[in-house]
Structure 1
Amino acid sequence: MAMSAVSPASILDKPLIHFGRRVLDRTAPGAPDAEYRFLDVLPLTPHIGAEITGVDLSKPIGEDLAGELRQALLEWKVVFFRDQHDFGPDHHLALAAVWGEPEANPFFPKAETPGVSRLAKDAMAIGNENIWHSDHSFMAAPALGSVLRAVEVPPAGGDTMWADMAVAYDNLSDEMKARIEGLTAEHDWVPTWGSFMTEEQIAGLRKNLPAVQHPVVVRHPQSGRKVLYVNEPFTTQIVGLSDAESQELLSELVLQARIPEFQVRFRWQPDSVAIWDNIAVQHYAINDYYPQRRVMERIAIAGVPLS
């Protein structure tokens, strides 16, 4: 049976069935090239993700090194360190302090070390972070970033992926960019975290954690780049649109994080550390290691309201 031809135009109309060149700018057009004297940068892709070498995170972080760490994260959006064998909770907190104050996740178990959350997943506590998301987008001032340390990793699996949401915005059609310009979306924790709670528990938390609104397209606080800021678990609706139109638009926008060219993937080893810019990227913890054990420690960095 002969197959009917599908025109390129009809293929390109579909949100993820498209091909060809991607616009993969690492920094804003015209931004000067960064220079590093206190660390070395090994890119994992041309635009997102780099391993940092030549740094022992158990040593005091001077201002010169801190400045280059901030620059590297701004440039690469997520950076990685290997073999940080002497890296403990105090070093973890000192590293996060390069960017700001720690911020507790209201739904994580209470940390043994204030500010450091321990995330242990195994056959008794199955990982459920395997969805593209931005940490704390349900808060009025979402987390600026996160610092994650691998304590125990499975022999295979348990990788994490990050997607560059500035590049995701850059690759939207001109028509889509015009359509979403100036729109605002609601973000809420109840459809996700609330699914594990009683109505009484939800009501008690609602007093301090109401639904919040953020622009669909935000300006990154440091780089000024436009970033697509909607994510599947926490963005519930686009303000001012009908339910049907909101769902249709969100269903297309959240898919952009799934395009492989926008992503970097990291294979964890014990004593690896990752730092990511939570405004510039979304991330996805791959849950392919059940029932093996995976233990991570995380600090979120307090952020600012987005515009």
Structure 2
Amino acid sequence: MSQALPAELLAKEPFEIRPLQPTIGAEIHGVDLRQPLSPEQRDALRQAVLRYKVVFFRDQQLDNDSHAAFAANFAPLYTHPSTTRDPKVAPIHRIAAIDAAKYEKRIHRDVLPGDAYHSDTSWRLVPTWGAVLRAVTLPETGGDTIWVDANLAYEGLSSELKERLDQLHVTHDFREALHDAGHDYPIVAHPVVRTHRETGQKILWVNFTQRPQILGVELSESKAILDEILRQYKRPEFQVRFSWRPGSVAFWDNRAAVHYAVKNYGDFPRHLERVLIADEPLYADL
């Protein structure tokens, strides 16, 4: 099992790292994401993502091809079912306000405002390793994204609740959205507390946009547990908040953080583009 490098070693890497919070979030300067990465740059960026869970870049001029080419430095890309499967087109997934509004009315109709903390593709047996998200069309103000250090969220729990959660699984149900895209997939249950394969950290891992339910307990207890997990996610000391600007890019470890898009920009057609990075197939996927 590899370990993330400590901050004092990261400081010696071939770009500048400016931490935004002690354990989550850092801005990286001195690298042009349009250009091919050297092996040293690639490895250093991967270690930075492991260390800080999410890293940010400013003033990048990516298009679809260079966006996908950057993400492909780290592992094969994953094509989300809602994106095109044309092999000639980069697997770009549009994250647009107009689409989000439709999801909120139908797919996410049970999610209360402010509760949509989630990770990407957690409905799969093997969720994606990471994601690279870039700004395309932004409102003048608003539209930030929040990432949560899911290890800190776990560590902030009481010893009694940690012990309880270590034995439990939670459902991730994305079937309705998949059916809309012409696909099917069973309801998957993941451990509520996952151990990160590379850092060894324990991760509190629930997707509040996918109808979570704790298995093996009464519904009332499931709700009480989920309410406590959501309170942990909402604690500011476990978060980093990123304000988008033209040319901004975020790159995060999907296994170590959950995130939340702040919708405070009215009807503006906010639009970002995302590329997902596949994880290693640890066992047969469906």
Using structure 2 for the length normalisation, give the TM-score: 0.85
Name 1:290's counterpart in structure 2.
Answer: 266
Name 1:272's counterpart in structure 2.
Answer: 248
Q: Determine which of 199, 205, 216 is the counterpart of 2:183.
A: 205
Q: Report how many aligned residue pairs link the two structures.
A: 270
Distance 1:304 1:161 in 2: 26
Conserved? CA contact 1:34–1:71, under 8 Å: no
Map 1:222-261; keep pairs closer than 5 Å. Answer: 222-234=198-210, 236-261=212-237
**What is the alpha-carbon root mean square deviation over aligned residues?**
2.8
Instruction: Please state whether the residue corresponding to 1:245 is helix, strand or coil.
Output: helix
The yes-or-no answer on 1:150 pairing with 2:125 is no
The yes-or-no answer on 1:281 pairing with 2:266 is no
Conserved? CA contact 1:152–1:296, under 8 Å: yes
Conserved? CA contact 1:122–1:293, under 8 Å: yes
Q: Determine which of 130, 143, 150 is the counterpart of 1:165.
A: 150
Q: Determine which of 76, 82, 95 is the counterpart of 1:101.
A: 76
Map 1:128-147; keep pairs closer than 5 Å. Answer: 128=104, 131-147=116-132
Conserved? CA contact 1:82–1:272, under 8 Å: yes
Unaligned runs of 5+ in 1: 1-26
Name 2:111's counterpart in structure 1.
Answer: none
Conserved? CA contact 1:49–1:79, under 8 Å: yes
Name 2:174's counterpart in structure 1.
Answer: 189
Letter in 2 for 1:297: E
Conserved? CA contact 1:43–1:49, under 8 Å: yes
Task: Give a deviation string over 1:111-151, Cα, whole Å, max 9, x none.
Answer: 89331112332599568596211111111111111100101
Conserved? CA contact 1:51–1:80, under 8 Å: yes
Change (3 A) 1:134 1:306: farther
Conserved? CA contact 2:133–2:274, under 8 Å: yes
Distance 2:199 2:247 in 1: 30
Distance 2:159 2:69 in 1: 43
Shift of 1:222: 1.0
Instruction: Please state whether the residue corresponding to 1:213 is helix, strand or coil.
Output: strand
Letter in 2 for 1:176: L
Q: Structure 1 residues 127-136 or 104-113, which shifts more?
A: 104-113
Distance 2:218 2:232 in 1: 22
Instruction: Please state whether the residue corresponding to 1:205 is helix, strand or coil.
Output: coil
Name 2:161's counterpart in structure 1.
Answer: 176
Unaligned runs of 5+ in 2: 109-113
Distance 1:123 1:160 in 2: 17
Change (3 A) 1:124 1:147: closer
Name 1:10's counterpart in structure 2.
Answer: none
The yes-or-no answer on 1:92 pairing with 2:67 is yes
- Same amino acid, percent of matched pairs: 41
Instruction: Please state whether the residue corresponding to 1:167 is helix, strand or coil.
Output: helix
Shift of 1:163: 0.5
